[in-house]
Amino acid sequence: MPIEFEAPKPIIQTQFMLKTVADEMMRPRSRYFDEHEHEIPWDYIEFMHMAMKASGGSSLAPQEESSSNGRGDKGEGKYPPIGYQLIAAQIESLSYGDLGMYHCLPGGALGAAAVHAAGTPEQKEKFLARFKDEKPTFAAMCITEAGAGSDNSAIRTRAILDEKTNEWVINGEKIFVTGGDKSFSEYEKLGKGFIVVWATIDPAAGRAGMRAFVIEGGTPGVNIVRLEHKLGIRVSDTAAISLVDVRVPYDHLLGSPVVVERSTSGFKGAMATFDATRPLVAASGIGVARAALEFLKEKLAENGVQIRYGLPRQKLSNIEREVIDMEIMLKSAWLMVIKATWMADNKKPNALEASMSKVKSGDVTTKITQKVVEILGPLGYSREFLAEKWMRDAKITDIYEGTGQINRLVVARQILSYSGSELR
Ligand X SMILES: Cc1cc2nc3c(=O)[nH]c(=O)nc-3n(C[C@H](O)[C@H](O)[C@H](O)COP(=O)(O)OP(=O)(O)OC[C@H]3O[C@@H](n4cnc5c(N)ncnc54)[C@H](O)[C@@H]3O)c2cc1C
The residues assigned a catalytic role are 401
How many angstroms separate the most distant Cα atoms in the chain? 79
What is the enclosing helix (H) or strand (E) of 198? strand 194-200
Closest to ligand X by CB, 153 or 238: 238
Binding stretches for ligand X (CB under 6 A): 110, 140-144, 149-150, 176-178, 230, 238, 396, 399-403, 405-406, 409, 424
- CA 36/CA 173 separation, integer angstroms: 27
Residue nearer to ligand X on the CB measure, 276 or 375? 276
Nearer to ligand X, 362 or 380 (CB): 362
Helix (H, G, I), strand (E, B) or coil at 156: coil
Shortest distance, CB of residue 271 to ligand X, whole angstroms? 13
For residues 272-305, one letter each, b for 16 or more C-beta atoms within 10 angstroms of the residue's C-beta and e for the rest, the string is bbbbbbbbbbbbbbbbbbbbbbebbbebbeeeee
Element (H, E) at 175: strand 167-178
3-state SS of 302-354 is HCCCCCCCCCCHHHCCHHHHHHHHHHHHHHHHHHHHHHHHHHHHCCCCCHHHH
Nearest-approach distance from CB 148 to ligand X, in angstroms: 7
29/183 Cα distance (integer angstroms): 22
CB burial of 324-348 (b: ≥16 within 10 Å; e: otherwise) equals bebbebbeebbebbbbbbbbbbeee
Nearer to ligand X, 98 or 401 (CB): 401
CA nearest to 397, candidates 277, 294, 268: 277
Question: Minimum distance between the CB of residue 80 and ligand X, rounded to whole angstroms?
Answer: 31
Nearer to ligand X, 49 or 174 (CB): 174
Nearer to ligand X, 89 or 240 (CB): 240
Residue 61: C-alpha distances to residues 32, 90, 139, 273 (Å): 27, 11, 10, 11
Our CB check for ligand X shows the closer of 112 and 323 to be 112
- The closest alpha carbon to 186, from 218, 215, 216, 214, belongs to 218
Measured from the CB of residue 122, what is the shortest distance to ligand X in angstroms? 25
CB of 351 to ligand X, least distance (A): 16
- What is the smallest separation between the CB atom of 147 and ligand X, expressed in angstroms? 8
User: Residues 266, 210: contact at Cβ < 8 Å?
Assistant: yes
In the complex, least distance from residue 294 CB atom to ligand X, rounded to whole angstroms: 25
Size (the chain), residues: 424
DSSP string, 229-265: --SS-TTS-EEEEEEEEEEEEGGGB-S-----TT--H
